[in-house]
Structure 1
Amino acid sequence: MEAGICYIKPEYLVTEGNGNSEAITTENSETNKRKRDDGHELETGGKKKWDKKERKRGQNKNRPVFKDERYSHLCHSLIDGTGGEPCSLANCRYVHDLNAFLAAKGEDLGPECYVFSTKGYCARGVSCRFAKAHTDENGRNIKREDYDENAPPTTFNGVSSELQVRLRKHEYDFSRSKQLIKLAENLRDARKQKEQKEKDDKEKLSAAEENQSAVSENSDKHGKEPPVDSKEQETPTGCAVDDSPIGRDAEKKPAVDFREKLVLSPLTTLGNLPFRRICKEFGADITCGEMACAQPLLKGMGQEWALTKRHKSEDVFGVQLCGNNPNMLNQAAQVIHETAQVDYIDLNIGCPIDLIYQQGGGSALMRRTNILELTVRSCAALSDRLPFTVKMRTGIYADKSVAHELLPLVEEWGASAVTLHGRSREQRYTKHANWNYIEECAAKAKNMPVIGNGDILSYEDYVERRTLAPHVSSVMIGRGALIKPWIFQEIKEKQAWSPLSNQRYEMLQKFCNYGLEHWGSDTKGVETTRRFLLEWQSFLYRYIPEALQEAPPQKINARPQKYRGRDEMETLMSSGNAADWVKLSESLLGRVPDGFTFVPKHKANAF
């Protein structure tokens, strides 16, 4: 059998020219590979060859983004329907013509509002796309009798208006952060001084030994003992550094136990709160928000702070930070620690995105060790109850791994755990993750948990990786969870689960409900939910049911042969065509607006 191919049972195979419009055509064929954005190909030696620089990109850049002009926001004074209090703002920019708004909104998408049915009240009121479920005969928004206005919120974090003002006016007190940076600088300078002293002493000792050898030879010739220099016999004093175990170096019980856990990777765009809720229900132990950049957080930007939001079901939750400046990173960590409910903070030093890397953040920090040391030392010292972790790759270049050198240093600087993705920045997601190297690095850690990451799509993959890397404490799953969110359940139950198409459809329905609760059930919220559903479907379609495979389990980098599903829905879910994803979303969230187009952000078809 050819490597990289997932072989399908003969009864589900599709042959060329069979006329079946429902058949799934794999990207293994040349006609189904996505073309470059400019549509051009390079000719080399008579064969079509993709541009190397283009292949390395992980996103569909310059993709068309559809903007829906059908709706505007209804003024809050009219949210509860007719007869509300008049708007008190002289220059209110929202819609005040209720009838015109309702006409533009269109028909309801269904008879039941998930938010109203679960909470007893829908704050979107008449702007909700399921408004008839919670409006009376007069068009007023209603509250169910069992609705509790004082019930605790189900979602935490984000930025308040008061915090926004303090951040934007530079009124937030970061004196603690400045002290920690200064302390980290002193420790770094003391370490360098000590290393230089040891180097100088080693050179002096080597020179003294050479001199002693020469004198001995001379003494043997003349029969005299060489004079003894008392200064050379003095014990080196070393560097005057206080070695007492204080702060993060003190022995203590960690606030979060990262050992023997299933960790959901922080996933840009796709690791949103509704998706994390799905993964928690399937058995993920630890979740982490999407990568948030330190600078926008410190500017109080609501869009960036939204990445810190946490659902009550996420019992162990962390926020991942990215940046290129230790002062900014430490200040962002401080304000999150003081204003948000998080269990740990993670530093991203593995992000391969060009923009982040060129600015000195992400994987660029793996070569900026002075900056990395200041960041880890200062952030780890924020609180002995707030673990600070680091997520890294093997290095920047495929042929030059540096993680084995960095990992012991990061532990020395105070990190509570390190996640190692077994690929370099240069490799992105091509080639297989190097778990032998992950084990080599994990073996160098003294007491710090090391979390392995890469290429786990089944329980068998999990067992194989843990056997290859016995020093790895836990496993983090990213793309595997996007393709098979039930991977956590499979690992815990130690057996494969092959959901039917109706079970997978119910999972998508649940995601949409969670999305409407999180982003809103009005038109904007519906379309936001649709966009994230379509982005997720660009990974979900890669799942191949075990019953269709000749030799399960599926490997994450293996392309399937051309095949059809066991029913129409399974065939639709397995399609790599974005138009089919839109069709699937319409069955869940209603028709798309006229002129709607979708191109996925990530080139998830790269096997």
Structure 2
Amino acid sequence: MEYPAGTAPIKAEYLLSLTTTGNAADDDAAEGNTGSGRRYSRDGDNEVTASRGPNRGKLSKEQKKARQGANKGRKFGKVRDELDLCWRLANGATCEFGDECRFTHDIPSYLAVKSQDIRIPQTSQFSLSSPFTPDITKSIAPVPEYPSIDLGTVCPVFSETGECRYGFKCRFLGGHVRIDGSASLALIGDEDKKARAALTAMEVNFVDAETQKLLKTKKYPCPITAGYLKELQATGDSESKPKPAPNANSLIMPEPEQNMDIVQRPASEIISQRTGDLLSASSDTPDVPIRFSEKKRLHWSGKTYLAPLTTVGNLPFRRLCVAYGADITCGEMGLANSFLSGSKEEWSLVRRHPSETTFGVQVAGNKPGNLVPIAEVLSKECAGNLDFVDVNCGCPIDLVFKTGSGSALLDAPGKLGKILIGMNRALGEIPVTIKLRTGIKDGKNIAHKLMPRAASEWGAGCITLHGRTRQQRYTRLADWDYIKECVDAVRAREADEDLPPIPIFGGGDCYSSEGYWKNVGKTGVDGIMIGRGALIKPWIFTEIKEHREWDISARERLDLIKTYAEYGINHFGSDTTGVNATRRYLCEALSFQYRYVPIGLLEHLPGRINDRAPAFRGRNELETLLASGDSQDWVKISEMFLGPAPESWTFTPKHRSNAHGNEESQG
């Protein structure tokens, strides 16, 4: 059969039509955001939403054209309980506000109107045919006094940590409550599980309200930054190569215990290899740069790397990818100015789960004055729980680029050098890595000039190169031949200067194990950063490690969705607000995963990431449902594990063609 160019080759027995369905996905959403979306996170007891992007004014004609077909200004309203119970009483504590508390203290009244407890079924309980109703046995011990409580449910938070911090507000309350003969209620806990959870389940990198206040009022002390910026000012802040003098902040001695993935050399050995004994001669040679890249080396060759992904790359998704084989994870891109203003939303991005064995934070900024201080704050507030800080030099989004951040830094090598050297100094032991594109405009690649300097002069601990220019976005295939040219340029510079090699990762269009290992062998990269491929098929990391293409079944994919739901509840919360935050982000994840075409349906392998799928049916009705581009079907899938969506809750997809009904009705 002849297929139109760019069409996935579906076998005839599954093909319904050669016409491709759905809107072309906005894959720039994998790296940035236009400001129309909203981030939704949980910080303690509060639900937080925040508009993204430094500028939310009127759009230009070019911006409107670029966003044609998108649902603009998406909003996700808050869903709360009909009667709001006081958090202190919900957790079995005493409220110091007493009768003046604005929340109810009447637990029986609250439970009388509370929504029914949720059960998360095992995927084996679902039918492969519509309506996919799971076979669930009803509560073994009905509680007439409290009809909302289902003693047969299991709370994901309690199951993992031995206690549920949401108490009576939990939508899985029956899993951690005791009811005695007089119908009185008591929350229960598991002390052994609590002790184990402290090491294996508790998220880290919480930045408290006092620290956020210091940042907001510009009272947070950053002495290393102040000294560095003073040096730049004294030298006129020229565009020539910055040459900081060695000082106490530059020389980091090795710690007694080291991470297995890191090799660290004594400072005296590092310095003597490059310039002789600078420890004794530093006063005579103040302009010789310290080799920051050697103060702590990253051994990442052969490791799988999940790209930092805006909105969808949240902690539950990263945790899911780790479960499927991702070795290195990085938080969503955060804006340096928002970090420095004490934004709760931005600081929620640095949260780390213990399962993330190698974890970093990505920041975007436009000058040493905002990137160096955030590096110093991160080094203090996340000490011991941060393996690297990545500087975004590749985001193509207009609202990032026009501020001089993201890919705009590619055209400012002098500024970029100052940023990286200053961040290295401020971060102490923590390495600085960079992610960049090949250039800004087509036909004007510049990465082969920047990357050798980043490795040898500016102290980059790792470099990741996305094989497209900013102008190309995702309209063309990644240029792996050019990636090889850049790798060769860096390795040649390292050989000339007798430098140890730093890890270099490539990126672009990686969607299969075959493609991954082919490009690793072709280019000499240490690995490939996976972005869109992981969004569409998070199990790609298993495929890469096992050197195979996985014809994953519909029920196995449902297992993945169930796992994501449980991880989401543990992160966002098991109360009404948290469950619907999980539902929202699960639907965001499904907005990518529906694009997966099962390889058992393809005429030939491997599948290609940019191929559009024609209308097809799956091998069973569940597989067909998982391939639906209708956002209402994504909500339906979420209800399999999170219970019915509240009437007041809606999910607005990024693209109009994914909305229920025809596009005209969405105008």
Runs of 5+ in structure 1 lacking a partner?
17-23, 30-50, 196-239
CA–CA distance in 2 between the matches of 1:502 and 1:344?
Answer: 37
Matched, 1:131 2:173: yes
Give the superposition deviation at 1:64. 4.5
- Percent of residue pairs bearing the same amino acid type: 42
> Looking at CA atoms only, which structure, 1 or 2, has the larger radius of gyration?
1
Matched, 1:143 2:189: yes
TM-score, with normalisation over the residues of structure 2? 0.74
Query: Residue 176 of structure 1 aligns with which residue?
Result: 224
CA–CA distance in 1 between the matches of 2:400 and 2:17?
Answer: 44
| Alignment match of 1:6 (pick from 5, 8, 12) | 8
Find the residue that maps to 1:392 and give its secondary structure: strand
Query: Residue 274 of structure 1 aligns with which residue?
Result: 316
Matched, 1:381 2:425: yes
Matched, 1:261 2:303: yes
Give the superposition deviation at 1:561. 2.0
AA partner of residue 638 (structure 2): S
Q: How does 1:77-226 map to 2 (within 5 A)?
A: 77-80=88-91, 85-88=94-97, 92-110=101-119, 111-137=153-179, 138-144=184-190, 146-148=192-194, 151-152=198-199, 154-183=202-231, 192=240
CA contact (8 A) 2:625 2:633 kept: yes
CA contact (8 A) 1:439 1:468 kept: yes
Gap change, CA 1:366 and 1:101, over 3 Å in 2 = farther
Give the superposition deviation at 1:167. 2.2
Give the superposition deviation at 1:603. 9.0
Q: Deviations over 1:343-383 (max 9, x none)?
A: 00000011122222222211122223333222111012234
CA–CA distance in 1 between the matches of 2:432 and 2:404?
Answer: 20
Matched, 1:519 2:572: yes
CA–CA distance in 2 between the matches of 1:495 and 1:261?
Answer: 16
Query: Residue 35 of structure 2 aligns with which residue?
Result: none
Find the residue that maps to 1:535 and give its secondary structure: helix
AA partner of residue 185 (structure 2): G
CA contact (8 A) 1:25 1:575 kept: no
Gap change, CA 1:544 and 1:187, over 3 Å in 2 = farther
Matched, 1:498 2:551: yes
Matched, 1:554 2:607: yes
Find the residue that maps to 2:489 and give its secondary structure: coil
Q: How does 1:474-489 map to 2 (within 5 A)?
A: 474-489=527-542
Number of residue-to-residue matches in the alignment: 528
CA contact (8 A) 1:259 1:449 kept: yes
Find the residue that maps to 1:6 and give its secondary structure: coil
Query: Residue 505 of structure 2 aligns with which residue?
Result: 451
Query: Residue 651 of structure 2 aligns with which residue?
Result: 598
Query: Residue 593 of structure 2 aligns with which residue?
Result: 540
Query: Residue 48 of structure 1 aligns with which residue?
Result: none
Give the superposition deviation at 1:258. 2.9
| Alignment match of 2:401 (pick from 348, 357, 363) | 357
Find the residue that maps to 2:615 and give its secondary structure: coil
Query: Residue 74 of structure 2 aligns with which residue?
Result: 63
| Alignment match of 1:406 (pick from 436, 447, 450) | 450
Matched, 1:466 2:520: yes
CA–CA distance in 1 between the matches of 2:239 and 2:593?
Answer: 48
Gap change, CA 1:595 and 1:463, over 3 Å in 2 = same
Query: Residue 260 of structure 2 aligns with which residue?
Result: none
Q: How does 1:563-578 map to 2 (within 5 A)?
A: 563-578=616-631
Gap change, CA 1:269 and 1:194, over 3 Å in 2 = closer
Q: Deviations over 1:79-103 (max 9, x none)?
A: 136xx52443786444444345434
Find the residue that maps to 1:146 and give its secondary structure: helix
| Alignment match of 2:21 (pick from 7, 17, 26) | 26
CA–CA distance in 2 between the matches of 1:604 and 1:429?
Answer: 20
TM-score, with normalisation over the residues of structure 1? 0.81
Gap change, CA 1:604 and 1:473, over 3 Å in 2 = farther
CA–CA distance in 1 between the matches of 2:516 and 2:324?
Answer: 16
Q: Deviations over 1:211-257 (max 9, x none)?
A: xxxxxxxxxxxxxxxxxxxxxxxxxxxxx9646463516x5551x22
Query: Residue 373 of structure 2 aligns with which residue?
Result: 331
Runs of 5+ in structure 2 lacking a partner?
25-60, 120-152, 244-283, 495-500, 659-667
CA–CA distance in 2 between the matches of 1:265 and 1:103?
Answer: 45
Matched, 1:315 2:363: no
Query: Residue 437 of structure 1 aligns with which residue?
Result: 482
Gap change, CA 1:308 and 1:52, over 3 Å in 2 = same
